[in-house]
A = this chain, B = another copy of it.
Amino acid sequence: MNVPAPQLSEQIDAIFAAWGMSEPAREACVRLMIAADLRGIDSHGVMMLPLYDELRRDGRLKMDPNVKVVRESPVTALVDGDMSLGHYPADTAMKLAIRKARGSGLAAVAVRNSNHFGAAGVYAMQAASAGLIGIAMTNVWNLAIVPTRAAQAMFGTNPIAFAAPAGEQPPFCLDMATSTVAIGKIKLAILRGKPLPRGWAHGPDGRITDDADAALAARLLTPIGGTPELSSHKGYGLAAMVEILCAMLPGAWYAPTRERRHPGEKRYNVGHFFLAMDPHAFRAEGEFEDDLDDMIGALRSATRLDPAQPVLVHGDPERAEMERRGREGVPLPDALAAKIRSIAADCGAPALI
């Protein structure tokens, strides 16, 4: 079934309201979850609702969070998320970074004590829509990425998003996990009965495997690069960089040592990092945007390996999906629609889809 975005928004909002989530938290969380779905990033939109319900029941999400700036300068800020669902403190932080960058040319805002914030690209795009370069990152409490030479996961999928405004062209928007692929791709390979490409995942013994069932059981993903001979140490380094900016910088927690350092704590204390930069602090009006148009145009007209497959620029697939889903609604698999209805019933929210 396809559900129009406003209708899906109302459903999620009704559930959050029934959970007792405060109005400002609800407004940000619903808007940014649906933004992920509209961009086609299904894995980071309403599909996350069952997990959020679980976090809530486990006492890891606060419904009436006091999200506040705990430290601030004209170009930096530290935001405490007070155990909110991540979208609300993340939205607060990115908006603050944008406001500061408009005044000063550059700003960085880090967030501690947060939770899952959905799709990183949605925040980077907030800056690009304001005419600024935007960066968004988050660490992730459940471990997935195995460092080069290791046999255990030491980072979450630690995504990086980078967006920049162009002139005639739409914004550039890179939105990537620092793992080679997401767990979802392994599930898809199982459904299709296919072996995994060598370099996606490790088996339970820590060795690279093409056995999709073994890989799903182990949940050990490679960093981008895949194998040591294809330079997986680079992806490992990028995952570590995200961890440093999202955990160490704001004072969020590094999952592998969380239990030891913070025994008995329920919260995951997820952290995020946002940066906004004004191109006009460096270039005259329009120059940056013209030059980015030129690069994007050159990429689009680069010689194709397969004439039928255009060379894409980052942001293209999401924009195409956004246009389609804006018209046709967000496609919900039956199982997910049923799950959402059941979550609504459980908390006494009306069923609106």
Q: Given the interface contacts A104-B73, A238-B174, does A291 sit within 8 Å of B248 by beta carbon?
A: yes
Q: Of residues 90 to 109 in A, which have CB atoms within 8 Å of B's CB atoms?
A: 104-108
A351 at the B interface (CB under 8 A): no
Q: Are A241 and B174 in contact (CB under 8 A)?
A: yes
Q: Given the interface contacts A238-B174, A281-B73, does A298 sit within 8 Å of B150 by beta carbon?
A: no
Nearest CB of chain B from residue A184's CB, rounded to whole Å: 13
A contact patch SS: mixed
Stretch in A17-25, A59-67, A221-229 with 4+ CB within 8 Å of B: A221-229
Q: Are B110 and A108 in contact (CB under 8 A)?
A: no
CB-based nearest B residue for A302: B150
Nearest CB of chain B from residue A41's CB, rounded to whole Å: 14
A234 at the B interface (CB under 8 A): yes
Q: Are A254 and B295 in contact (CB under 8 A)?
A: yes
Q: Are A224 and B235 in contact (CB under 8 A)?
A: yes
Q: Are A206 and B305 in contact (CB under 8 A)?
A: yes
Q: Of residues 268 to 292 in A, which have CB atoms within 8 Å of B's CB atoms?
A: 277, 279, 281-283, 287-288, 291-292
Say which residue of B149, B152, B200, B245 sits within 8 Å of A230 (CB atoms).
B200
Q: Are B75 and A105 in contact (CB under 8 A)?
A: yes
CB-based nearest B residue for A178: B234
Contact with B along A201-239 (1 / 0, CB 8 A): 000001100000000000000001111011101111110
